[in-house]
Structure 1
Amino acid sequence: MPVPSELLRGVAEVEATPRGLRPHRLPTWVREQFPDGQLLAMESQPSGVRIVFRTAASTLELVTHPTRVAYLGADRPRGRIDVYADGALAARDTLTGGDRIDVDLTGGQSACHPGQVHTTTVSGLPAGHHRIEIWLPHNESIELVDLRADAAIEPDDAALPLWVHHGSSISHGSNALAPSEIWPAVAARRAGVELRNLGLGGSAFVDPFLARVIRDAPADYISVKLGINVVNLDGMRLRTFVPAVHGFLDTIRDGHPDVPLLLISPLFCGIHEDTPGPGAFDPESIGTDQVRFVATGTPGDVALGRLTLQVIRRELRSLADRRAADKNLHYLDGTALYGPTDATDLPLPDGLHPSAEAHQRIGTRFAEYAFTGTGPFTRTATPATAT
């Protein structure tokens, strides 16, 4: 049967295609208002999106048609689909087939190569009704073609607190092993909450439209991790960055005046700690087993308001202090999740994004900080309506 849209969690909306349904993490009005190629590519990758239902089936099949970007000279692993039954991993399936868009990093040319659908099969589920969660790939766009089972599929009506998170490619899941192992998913699964992931690779620029999306979204907890993409792009100066963050938070508060709101500064990233952007691919790494990123700014060049990660952390902490009247606003230094010691222990493979092991560490630390003890997300919530 076609995948019922009401079974999808973590989406803004779905688009009907000739094959089936394509999940979107941003609404149509954003995609029409600002049809930036990078943003459109990232929001169509269903990071954090799940198909959730209950069934007594012993065998399930999900038919999908993926679309991936392949950078010539930079080998990237295929996306995966994770299937959980009652919270336990039942299957992890690596995608095959689908459409491939080849991009030449040296010249920017691209070419599309069409492919076939992919079928994910889960068999041998034990007898009884089970809550099934199918985590869609975080790093490939996908169309949902068909969902098959040898027993009836029913919506899952369990209401869990809803956590909305916005961030950069690290929150999107770059270098994570699988969709349920991106750090926000690790944290959400440990905390027992619903995740709506607005981590958007290369697209966390304190954009006003993202603040409006969060403002209008159901949410019991909200977190925003800002700064690294602004430095990567060399997109702002200090004078414009600070007011933009104030405006971003103000817009969120227009829709969620009392919801716990956590402002997170960037994780440790050695290339940008003291060196402004823009960031770029290291040309010497193209064609090797691991493409790397470099900062092309001048180290220490902040006198004219250029931004580094250390400057951004200082300013975000100061900004949070000046908003102390908002008792539900909290600040977290990102180096508490991944700091200089972690960079020695679990280095950034490409100089910018954490490894799969580091995603696990970051997600575990976030869950322990935010969702336990006196953490900002420990307030008893009346679950919002998840989408």
Structure 2
Amino acid sequence: MDSDADGVRDSTDNCHQTPRGATLIAQGCSALDVAENPRLIVKPILQDLEAIKKSLAGTPSAAAVAKHLDEAGGEFKRAAIKIADGNICNASSEYNRGLLRLSDAEGLLRKVIGADNDQTRQLAGLRSLNQEAIIGGSVFNQVCKSVASRRSTGRITRIDDAARRIEIDSKLVVGLATSFLTKDQLYVGRVVQVNGPHFRSGAAMAQDLVVAQAEQGPHGGLFVDCLQLRVTPPQTNSPGSPGPVTKLQLAGFQDGDQVMVEAGMGIAAEDVGCPAPRFPAQKRYSLHAKLSYTVHGNNRVSDRQVTRTLALDLDSEDRPVLLPADIPSGTIVTMTVLSREQTVKTLPGGIRVYSPVRVLAIRTYQLDMAGPRRTLITGLRRGPVYARRDLDLIAF
């Protein structure tokens, strides 16, 4: 079976979503596939590197070798991060430093074990790893050489959230860099400018998307904005109050490009004009929210990227979903929110049948997990949409 029709059977294909007609450069993968997921190349190198380090653990004289291997692994990781961010041709310096550290490690190991032991398992493994890393570097060089331009404009014709890809004018497949950010809502039919590396094979990697200047808001009955994202404060109502949940606009908590939030706050959906239900079929609108942020370790190498789902299927009738309490104060969190539509048919007997979900729009927000006092003061000064009656209960 060849699910992506790239000429490579799925059983030996490392990339099962290669764009149609794209040139393969490694392991059944196109330039876009490698740029989206450079771990395909780097992960086996790092695994072999760790295996060699483990085999040297009982050799005290090889401590300097292990140090060079650690440094090489760190450089390879940094190169992969740059590539996934869309900085494809700027990652060569890190990768080349990694190759140099590997070469240094091989030279040191040869001295440690002596000239007569060149064929020992450790040295042979390190030589093999060196060649593997050189081949990986040549793959990344091919990806860089396949970049033809860095900008294009067209109309969004498809959004595939699962694959983190969109389609422009039904021909340009656009992947999203890990640092992808847009201030504009994205939906099928909108004209956008794609900024980022464009490959010769008809694919691109977006570092950001901006709405074309001539493009206006949604038209033609597309209810992109009928269900809107709201923020709920830590204290939703006065103690004992049976009233509805307080929902505030994000604008009241914005500070520049960031939204000031805190643990205990939540997100909710508000219906501001969705079509009225009709029997037997009706449109249903919901929000899907994901969070992405960096957990910092003792050094850059130990940093890790965390992605977690905040809300799977949030509509206006649902209770607020609270922001995670375990995210450290001061962390900048990227929240990606998908506006979605599906058709619900009610069959005889009250059985409901749901159509597949269609993504109408994608929005991203930068959340600053600030302290409680800072957040509440910011929100109140900017004037929330709904007046609160329990302000005297907030401790400043």
Give the TM-score of the pair, scaled to structure 1.
0.26
Q: Who wins on radius of gyration, i.e. which is larger? A: 2
Q: Quick one: higher RCO (CA 8 Å, sep 6+), 1 or 2?
A: 1
